[in-house]
Amino acid sequence: MVNSLQDTTTLHNGIKMPWFGLGVFKVVEGPELVNAVKVAIKHGYRSIDTAAVYANEVGVGKGIREGLEEAGIAREDLFVTSKVWNSELGYESTLAAYETSLKKLGLEYLDLYLIHWPVEGKYKEAWRALETLYKEGKVKAIGVSNFQIHHLKDLLEDAEVKPMVNQVECHPRLTQKDIQAFCQDQGIQLEAWSPLMQGELLNHERLQEIASTYGKSVAQVILRWDLQNGIVTIPKSTKEHRIVENASIFDFELTEEDMAEINELNQNHRVGPDPDNFDF
């Protein structure tokens, strides 16, 4: 049972990862970004997720430094994730990309480093680089993003270190039950990006009805559904009231019936690219 914003899941290598974090996809560099990260830390968030391709690692790093200082907490108390972009997938280029991300963030290490997309013919070399970073103690945990079951099986054939996390698009219209079952079987933690389907589900009639029975918002119900499904979640927001609201999900629990009903909303519908058909 997840009872607070600081509660963690233990990855298969023993590293603790918060169940809940702040995502910063599509948040551009600037004061709004820095403030969002600071506000999240102030209100108890202990996980921040970014990526090289978001082109906002400098601002995220600034927000982290200022947020930690203002909250009076140590860097070790924060879990920071970034991802290597497709153009940098390769052994040497991935090692270099990691150093670039660290420099932009102004950090000495990352808690989690992910391969952003499973580019065919490239992700195995990139994974070898992540294994090197991990074995050298430069990163606490390594994983992948947007990997389907067949990508994971392919990676596992040669991997010396099993991914600790697989971050995928996941929400009530794309419940990813098959991938979750496979990951659970392998001891890989599933994490949801775009958990609110980029806002498309907030006016969903049935979800609104369920939310009203708990006196909660649709966003809160979906994020609670993630946690009760054992999925790490990282909703994005830059507004303080929304950052606070998104995290106010530890004072209620969805019934099994409501959980099942939300699971039934699945249509295998994506708002992001298909990991089997992307050209970037």
| Residues known to be catalytic | 54
Tokens 């970014």, residue located:
50
| Distance from C-alpha of 238 to C-alpha of 241, rounded to nearest angstrom | 9
| Distance from C-alpha of 124 to C-alpha of 109, rounded to nearest angstrom | 22
Q: How far is CA 154 from CA 6, 105, 127, 190, in A?
A: 34, 32, 12, 18
List 115's β-bridge partners, or say none. 84, 144
In one-letter notation, the amino acid at residue 30 is G
Instruction: Report the DSSP pairing between strands 139-145 and 110-115.
Output: parallel
DSSP string, 202-253: TT-HHHHHHHHHHT--HHHHHHHHHHHTT-EE--B--SHHHHHHHT--SS--
Cβ–Cβ under 8 Å, residues 133 and 139: yes
Cβ–Cβ under 8 Å, residues 154 and 106: no
Tokens 């909703």, residue located:
235
Tokens 């978001």, residue located:
54
